[in-house]
Amino acid sequence: MVDPYRLFGPMLRRFEPELAHDLTLRALESGLGGKAGHKLRPSLAVRCIGLDFPNPVGLAAGFDKDARVPDRMLALGFGFVEVGTVTPEPQAGNPKPRIFRLPDDEAVINRLGFNNGGMEAMASRLERRPPGGGILGVNIGKNKTTEDAIADYRAAFERLAPLGDYVVVNISSPNTPGLRDLQAVESLRPLLHALVREREKTSAVARPPLLLKLAPDLAVDDAVQASMLAAGEGFDGLTISNTTIDRPATLASRHRDQAGGLSGKPLFERSTELLRSVYGATDHGLPIVGVGGVASAEQAYAKIRAGASLVQLYSALIYRGPGLIEQILAGLEVLLARDGLTSIEQAIGSDA
């Protein structure tokens, strides 16, 4: 079977990145893009945050901000898909251009600024979604001009939590002024407390797991403190990590000095080491979704062995296309067999 991305990927990369992304979403909405389906892989199944994942490889937030194509992406083989970041009110985000490819580094810089159509538009799409399509996470944030951050997160949670399988609280994007300040304990505690209390208003059957997404630029002690606070307040997991504002000296692409969050290959080591440190320092207290630079089975496996129960990717799809999903899943099976393991769960934290 011919991989459509081999034909159309190079053409797409001739377009400005944001236009190419929108064209991709439109193509998926129209039914183009192929359908890999889910091959039964018992050794890759993961029970985590109260949910049964068919495999540990998910699509990170940012690709499908408005929940336009979650089921199309699940059909490509992902074990779960995360939509958003979505805010209560629609917002345009930062001025364009605001996405930059760094092909020499297999990386991307974005300063989108939570551009999205708002929670009501997303809710209307998710309410029309057929049941049983696969595990869906909803990533929520605050509007740029909002002064009461807690009110925004509560509103987004209340509206969208019943429509997803889990909810991620994004306080770590570098592209919304003041957002990362919420990672400080004095700001974080009341936010986490308010969301857990909001969740308690729903029926016990419908209470979705809550995850906290952290920045890779946090000091280890601060990340551990935030993680332990999340566990103490009743959160169910962590996502490590978001994009970085750091610029490694090794970057070679011409857009390397653009402002925004850096993702892709240069983020792998930094995000994985933070994941490993938090996993060990918190005594494995919360499941972790490992994000940042995953572009191969070996890298996904490294994050899992460092302490991740699940992994996500996005930037690598830009350079390698959707065929990467199958490559990673098949590769993980090979790596498990090499190590004499019968389940991916046995590998979680084995290097921590």
pLDDT tens-digit readout, 49-101: 999 999 999 999 999 999 999 999 999 999 999 999 999 999 999 999 999 99
As annotated, the active-site residues are: 173
Angle between helices 149-160 and 119-127 (to 10 degrees): 10
- Is position 277 within any domain? yes
pLDDT at site 185: 84
pLDDT at site 259: 97
As a whole number of angstroms, the distance between CA 259 and CA 175 comes to 9
- Is position 243 within any domain? yes
- Is position 352 within any domain? no
Q: Is the pLDDT of residue 34 over 60?
A: no
Residue 70's domain comprises 4-347
pLDDT at site 89: 98
pLDDT at site 5: 59
- 262 or 3, higher pLDDT: 262
Yes or no: say if 182 and 171 are a contact pair by the CB < 8 Å rule: yes
Domain count, the chain: 1
Q: What is the pLDDT of residues 195-239, one digit of tens each?
A: 999 999 877 677 899 999 999 999 999 999 999 999 999 999 999
As a whole number of angstroms, the distance between CA 103 and CA 152 comes to 36
Q: What mean pLDDT is reported for the chain?
A: 94
Share of the chain above pLDDT 70, in %: 95
Q: Is the pLDDT of residue 8 over 90?
A: no
Q: Is the pLDDT of residue 2 over 60?
A: no
Confidence of residue 132 (pLDDT cuts 50, 70, 90): confident
Q: Is the pLDDT of residue 33 over 70?
A: no
pLDDT at site 37: 60
- Is position 223 within any domain? yes
CATH number at residue 87: 3.20.20.70
- Is position 185 within any domain? yes
CB atoms within 10 A of CB 135: 22
Between the alpha carbon of residue 9 and those of residues 4, 5, 33, 318, the distances in Å are 8, 5, 11, 8
Phi/psi at 329 (nearest 5 deg)? -65, -45
- Is position 312 within any domain? yes
Helix then strand then coil, in percent of the chain rounded to 5, is: 40, 15, 40
- 285 or 15, higher pLDDT: 15
- Is position 38 within any domain? yes
| pTM of the predicted structure, to 2 decimals | 0.95
Confidence of residue 1 (pLDDT cuts 50, 70, 90): very low
Q: What is the pLDDT of residues 328-347, one digit of tens each?
A: 999 999 999 999 999 999 99
pLDDT at site 7: 58
- Is position 8 within any domain? yes
pLDDT at site 11: 72
Summarize the confidence of residues 295-315 as an average pLDDT. 98
